[in-house]
Amino acid sequence: MREERYQKRREHIPTRHLYRHHRRRKLPDANSATSIPNSGQSSNTVEGDPGHAKSATEGGALWEYLLSKAISHHDELPDPMNVQDWTTKDIGKLSAEDQRAWHKAQFEELEALKKCNVYELADLPPGQKAIKNCWVFDLKSNGWKKACLVTKGFSQIEGLDFDEIFSPVVQFESVRTILMLAALEKWKIEGLDVKSAFLYGTLDEELYMEQPQGFKVLGNEHKVLHLKKAIYGLKQAARAWWHELDRSLKALGFSRLYADAGIFVAKHADGTMVIILAYVDDIILTGPNAAQVASKKKLFMDKWECRDLGECREFLHMRIEYRGGKTYLDQVPYLEKILKRFGMADAKAAQTPLPTGYKPELFDGTAMAALQSQYQLVIGSLLYLMLGTRPDLAFAVTQMVKFAHNPSEKHLLKSRHIL
């Protein structure tokens, strides 16, 4: 069971919520890591991950799994196509210049934590257990490097460490509808990225987290961090941030739609309006009056620390292009990435999502864990494409989703055919 969970995490395609990564990380030693602002560093290092053993079974269903295991422990440079699978050990294999760039990203993350007053150094109270943490890395399409200190939220206990965790986000269908409206009416579309959004959420629970290895405060290595605000990885972090966002937008004159809690509208006396689409920390502002959009954007940036993306070019991994007075949406970079992941970069195009006349049938046997994991990975990727920019795949994908719990080799073959 442990190996199956490890495999699912390793093969998981990235999404907007960074707190999903829970694998143990090996952090760089004290000599290579950037220190916490205004604090010393520990000379302690983290031991390497223990090896994982798995019995060989007959048949070829595990060959891709075994191959991926071998590659993950190879001394080659980390795969630049899978940055979110990197550990700090992978960072250590990069060139000195790249390592400095990533350490700078880690330092910026710690600066953000300090600036937002997220935690305070404290002794661990008797009976309390400190949550572990790790680093998660991401490389944006514009080359911007991001490092996030993430708690291992899977160790939280429901009813003790958290209660409600649901966080509303804007729906893909709503995003496409608003972008279509903006294109038809020639509205300006502006983008913002809220820096360290989860750090603004206030916690109701008493939580403690271990100090990150390589960044421990000199002389206080035994102490822990008392969390005063939410941090990536906590199960309730997204909900805490959404409540803060909802309250702040109401103060700016916005009202939340009941049909889609990720859409906020500010109406003006002249009959115009400004619309905000919010998906966690990704924000779009649009409306018929460019001056009003710019004004609301400034007020939003005065409230929250944001990166101004200017005219929106990407949202939820959907690429937005403006040509000849028209707006085009696609997920080509994402599609190229998953085709390469599944070894289909040179595959020929098919005329239909599924072969003509094909009707999937239930599998009488029991799917092996590796086959089930890979099938779910393919189907999850297809669902993301379908919801984003390819609604024409809906019938084929929903047909194949039915077999995600017990797929056959034939089901996997046909699901890859949709790609």
Domains along the chain with CATH numbers? 13-46+60-165+201-236 (no CATH), 172-197+240-327 (3.30.310), 332-418 (no CATH)
Comparing 11-15, 139-143, 165-169, 176-180, the range with the smallest average pLDDT is 11-15
Helices 2-11 and 369-388, packing angle to 10 deg = 30
Q: Whole-model pTM? A: 0.62
Is residue 110 within 8 Å of residue 213, measured between CB atoms? Answer: no
pLDDT at 391 over 70: yes
Helices 369-388 and 172-185, packing angle to 10 deg = 30
Q: Which residue has the higher pLDDT, 157 or 408?
A: 408
Closest to 188 (Cα-Cα) out of 265, 279, 289, 268: 289
- Rg, Å, the chain Cα set: 23
Q: Which residue has the higher pLDDT, 127 or 52?
A: 127
Closest to 161 (Cα-Cα) out of 197, 202, 128: 128
pLDDT at 8 over 70: no
pLDDT at 56 over 70: no
Q: Which long-range contacts (CB under 8 A, 24 or more apart) does 44-52 make?
A: 44/213, 44/214, 44/216, 44/221, 45/213, 45/214, 46/213, 46/214, 48/89, 49/24, 52/2, 52/3, 52/6
Question: Whole-angstrom Cα distance, residue 229 to residue 390?
Answer: 38
Predicted pLDDT of residue 77: 54
Is residue 150 within 8 Å of residue 235, measured between CB atoms? Answer: no
* Ordered alpha helix ranges (H), 139-235: 172-185
Phi and psi angles of residue 307, each rounded to the nearest 5 degrees, phi first: -95, 125
How far is C-alpha 191 from the chain's CA centre?
A: 18
Question: Whole-angstrom Cα distance, residue 30 to residue 14?
Answer: 29
Q: Which residue has the higher pLDDT, 278 or 28?
A: 278
Sequence-distant (≥ 6) Cβ neighbours of residue 222 within 8 angstroms: none
Question: What average pLDDT score do residues 183-194 get?
Answer: 90
**Residue range 71-116, pLDDT digits in tens:** 333 345 556 666 767 776 777 777 888 888 888 888 888 787 878 7
Helices 394-401 and 409-418, packing angle to 10 deg = 160
Is residue 407 within 8 Å of residue 375, measured between CB atoms? Answer: yes
Is residue 319 within 8 Å of residue 332, measured between CB atoms? Answer: yes
Question: What average pLDDT score do residues 380-388 get?
Answer: 86
Give strand pairing partners of 86.
none
Is residue 376 within 8 Å of residue 342, measured between CB atoms? Answer: no
